[in-house]
């Protein structure tokens, strides 16, 4: 029960990595707020958590909208009296090569993957700085932010920005006992890769030192460690969880 008596918001918590993270945190004792725009999937996650004895709530929130983000944080504090952990997990893809990418594709990814992280982080930090102890903010980066990736100018730019914000927030918030770290997943088997041809997936596996794609649980475990007191002296870090893909 590494997160006993903690309250955690997980954005994008209805599916994929967010869903597994929500269930993992609940098993470890946290009261979990699943924040997502997909109400059906989000309430299903909450129902599964509560059926297994956990504590969870669903709050509909579009992370690109300041009013909805503030509403999410306010409701969380109203219900659970604290906000100890924020997982900035919500993210989307809209891939295209540079010469073919539309401004709309660019902006949509920047809005969710970068603006959304900023808005959620800001709202959470304003609560955490008034608490004792402060709290933990964990941001979803990506290994592509460190090395680039074909056809992902928007996604890479957003995730590189997330890494920059993570380090900046760690500097600003450390004295307030708020730790800020990022996890940089590699190739993870979620709904986001369902449209990728099998030959490309096999090629990635061949390049990964551990010989497989990652599972959502691998990322959830990294979030769990960084959110727990086991990581009490870790801040400003970007943890790559990629099976050795980028080596």
- CATH of residue 113: 3.40.50.720
Domain limits at 113? 7-240
pTM of the model: 0.96
**Per-residue pLDDT, 204:** 85
Under 8 Å between Cβ of 51 and 26: no
Residue 228, phi then psi, degrees to nearest 5:
-85, 170
In a domain, 54, yes or no: yes
Task: Give the helix/strand (H/E) hosting 40.
Answer: helix 39-51
Under 8 Å between Cβ of 90 and 36: yes
Model confidence pLDDT, tens digit, residues 51-90: 999 999 999 999 999 999 999 999 999 999 999 999 999 9
**Per-residue pLDDT, 179:** 98
In a domain, 152, yes or no: yes
In a domain, 2, yes or no: no
**Per-residue pLDDT, 121:** 98
**Per-residue pLDDT, 201:** 84
162-171, long-range: CB < 8 A, 24+ apart: 162/88, 162/113, 162/114, 162/117, 163/139, 163/238, 165/117, 165/118, 165/121, 165/139, 166/139, 166/141, 166/236, 166/238, 167/236, 169/121, 169/125, 169/137, 170/235, 170/236, 171/236
Among residues 229, 129, 121, 220, which one has the least CA distance to residue 180? Answer: 121
The structural domain count of the chain equals 1
Residues of the chain scoring pLDDT < 50? none
Distance CA 229, CA 153 (A): 36
Burial class (CB in 10 A: 0-12, 13-18, 19+), 233: exposed
Classify 168 as helix, strand or coil.
Answer: helix
In a domain, 149, yes or no: yes
In a domain, 1, yes or no: no
In a domain, 93, yes or no: yes
Residues marked active site are found at: 155
**Per-residue pLDDT, 42:** 98
Distance CA 229, CA 53 (A): 23
Distance CA 176, CA 74 (A): 20
In a domain, 154, yes or no: yes
**Per-residue pLDDT, 199:** 85
**Per-residue pLDDT, 196:** 72
């Amino acid at each position: 029960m590494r997160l006993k008596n903690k309250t955690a918001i997980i954005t994008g918590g209805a599916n994929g990595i967010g869903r597994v993270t929500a269930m993992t945190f609940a098993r470890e004792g946290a009261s979990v707020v699943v924040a997502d725009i997909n109400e059906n999937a989000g309430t299903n996650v909450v129902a599964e958590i509560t059926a297994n004895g956990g504590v969870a709530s669903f709050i509909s929130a579009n992370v690109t909208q300041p009013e909805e983000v503030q509403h999410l944080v306010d409701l969380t504090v109203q219900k659970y009296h604290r906000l100890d952990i924020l997982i900035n997990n919500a993210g989307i893809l809209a891939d295209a090569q540079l010469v073919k990418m539309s401004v709309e594709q660019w902006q949509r990814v920047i809005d969710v993957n970068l603006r959304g992280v900023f808005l959620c982080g800001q709202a959470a930090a304003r609560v955490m700085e008034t608490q004792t102890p402060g709290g933990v903010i964990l941001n979803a980066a990506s290994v592509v932010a460190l090395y680039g990736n074909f056809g992902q100018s928007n996604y890479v730019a957003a995730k590189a920005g997330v890494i920059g914000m993570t380090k900046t927030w760690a500097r600003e918030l450390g004295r307030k006992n708020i730790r800020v770290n990022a996890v940089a997943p590699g190739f993870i088997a979620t709904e986001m890769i369902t449209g990728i041809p099998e030959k490309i997936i096999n090629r990635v596996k061949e390049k990964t030192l551990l010989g497989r794609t990652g599972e959502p649980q691998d990322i959830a475990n990294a979030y769990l460690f960084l959110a727990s007191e086991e990581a009490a002296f870790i801040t400003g870090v970007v943890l790559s969880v990629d099976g050795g893909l980028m080596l």
